[in-house]
Amino acid sequence: MEFRPILNALLRNKTGLLLIALQVAITLAIVCNSVFIILQRIEKVNRPSGMDEQSLFTITSLGFAPDFDLRGSLRQDLEALRSIPGVVDATTINSVPLSNGGWSEGLETQPDSVPQEQRKNTPTALYIVDEHGVNTLGAHLVAGRDFTADDVSYRSRDDKGTPNSVIVTQALADQLYPDGNALGKPIYSGLGGKGSSSTIVGILERLQAPWVGWDKVEHAMLVPQYQDGEFDSSARYLIRTEPGRRDEVMKQAERKLGEVNTGRIVRGLRSIEEVRGESYRQDRAMTIVLTTVIFSLLAVTGLGIVGMVSFWVTRRVKQIGTRRALGARRFDIRRYFMVENVIVVGIGIALGLLMTYGFNLWLMKHYELPRLAWYYAPLGALTVLLLGQLAVFGPATRASRVSPAVATRTV
């Protein structure tokens, strides 16, 4: 196959050549970066949270009666909730994991007596639970121990009552003590006043923070405390059920709390699966939109190639017939147009690779996306090349069916 005649023919159709090449280049750049973003979003949405999500739900109590006693209500509510058939465990909790709203704290591994420039502050999500917290969450304790009833203290409005013990995630433990020996070590925070210290008594394999878009989403700490009545009159409960019984228990829990104390409002009944769905709604929407964009671009590019090649075939009927009369086989005619397409798409791919990495650099700068992995561009180029061959096959086949007699009659 001579490339020079093909190139000469293409150069006589510069407008069509440039249009198809530019379309291929734009498609390649957008498809590669879109697939990269989609896979990132899918990975983000499917991250394990460290909880038994399918069996968890949350409910909130808000006292309004003048004589409402939060301390007494906490004990009563938890006993009532744990007595419901199908409930595995229940705990109070200040923030709902994956909800995009919660409490945070800065931790240090050295006391205030050490100069500030020598201390490193590590942010973490803060979950205030009782001794049933770990079991309720369904989290996996990989080192140390769980909380006991003696660990639990009351947290008042002025935040007095430093917790003696805390449980942290493995990711947070590794950040605080990179040597891998965080168990039994102190951490310093403002939980009981500036510079107060607590001891790490347990390490969880994983537990995500409430903020799903946070780059330190696996930094989480459990603190054994109850809210004091002076803090406010609300309490949030997290309940874990036996597998398959969550929806049944949710209805019973709402009714049970209403019966235990009528001097409050019971609201905020939501499963953790529902919470996850709401928090990741934008990520799922972006995945759907980008997927639609990808298939639309591929379809438009494919149809553009079909239309352009069909136009070229129509203009070259006499040339095709002459080649057939000189002994060219159908295979030769089909191959001619497919090779021509490889050249056109190849020019588009060369331009598209530059646009792909340029677009990625722009996304890195303005949206803090990571660098595009090296294999996306070659795989995208191969996809576009195969799309071009698939698109040109039909017009090329029709061209190969032009007979010498038909071409002669067009003279």
DSSP 324-352: HHTT--HHHHHHHHHHHHHHHHHHHHHHH
Q: Is the dihedral of CA 3, 6, 10, 12 positive or negative?
A: positive
Q: How many CA atoms lie within 13 A of 122 on its CB side?
A: 23
Does residue 232 surpass a pLDDT of 80?
no
pLDDT tens for 202-231 read 999 999 999 999 999 999 999 999 876 555
What pLDDT is attached to residue 388?
Answer: 94
Name the phi and psi angles at 63, rounded to 5: -75, 140
| Confidence (pTM) | 0.84
194 — pLDDT class (breaks 50, 70, 90) = low
H/E/C letters for each residue in 14-55?
A: HHHHHHHHHHHHHHHHHHHHHHHHHHHHHHHHCCCCCCCHHH
pLDDT at 316: 78
- Please give the structure tokens belonging to residue 377: 């561009």
pLDDT band at 70 (very low <50, low <70, confident <90, very high): confident
Query: What's the DSSP call for residue 148?
Result: -
Q: 185: pLDDT confidence band, cut at 50, 70 and 90?
A: very high
Distances (CA, A) of 341 to 34, 135, 190, 213: 25, 62, 67, 44
Burial track 208-226 (b if 16+ CB lie within 10 A, e otherwise): bbbbbeeebbbbbbbbbbb
Has residue 390 got a pLDDT over 90?
Answer: yes
Which tokens hold the place of 139? 């989290």
Selected residue with higher pLDDT from 68 and 140: 140
pLDDT given at position 160: 55
Q: What is the tens place of the pLDDT at every residue in 38-59?
A: 999 999 999 999 999 999 999 9
3-state secondary structure of 292: helix
Q: Dihedrals φ, ψ of 108, to 5°?
A: -135, 160
Task: For 380, list phi and psi in degrees, rounded to 5.
Answer: -65, -40
| CA torsion through residues 96, 99, 102, 106, sign | positive
Tens digit of pLDDT for each residue in 122-154?
Answer: 999 999 999 999 999 999 999 999 999 999 988
Which band of pLDDT confidence, cut at 50, 70 and 90, is reported for residue 157? low
With a cut of 50, say whether residue 298 has pLDDT above it: yes
Mean per-residue pLDDT, 306-314: 88
- pLDDT tops 90 at residue 405: no
* pLDDT at 407 exceeding the cut of 80: no
Q: Which helix (H) or strand (E) holds 226?
A: strand 220-227
pLDDT of residue 158 exceeding 70, the answer is: no
d(CA 68, CA 80): 17
Please, what's the largest Cα pairwise distance for the chain? 104
Whole-angstrom distance, CA of residue 196 vs CA of residue 111: 8
**Which is more confidently placed, 112 or 213?**
213
185 CB burial (10 A radius; 0-12, 13-18, 19+): middle
Burial (CB < 10 A; 0-12, 13-18, 19+), residue 272, is buried
Residue 410 in this model has a pLDDT that exceeds 80: no
Q: Which of 73, 130, 64, 90 is nearest to 260 (CA)?
A: 73
Is residue 13 predicted with pLDDT exceeding 80? Answer: no
Lowest mean pLDDT among 70-84, 270-284, 345-359: 70-84
Pick the more confident residue, 205 or 399.
Answer: 205
Q: What is the mean pLDDT of residues 294-313?
A: 92
Reported residue count of the chain is: 411
* pLDDT value for 411: 47
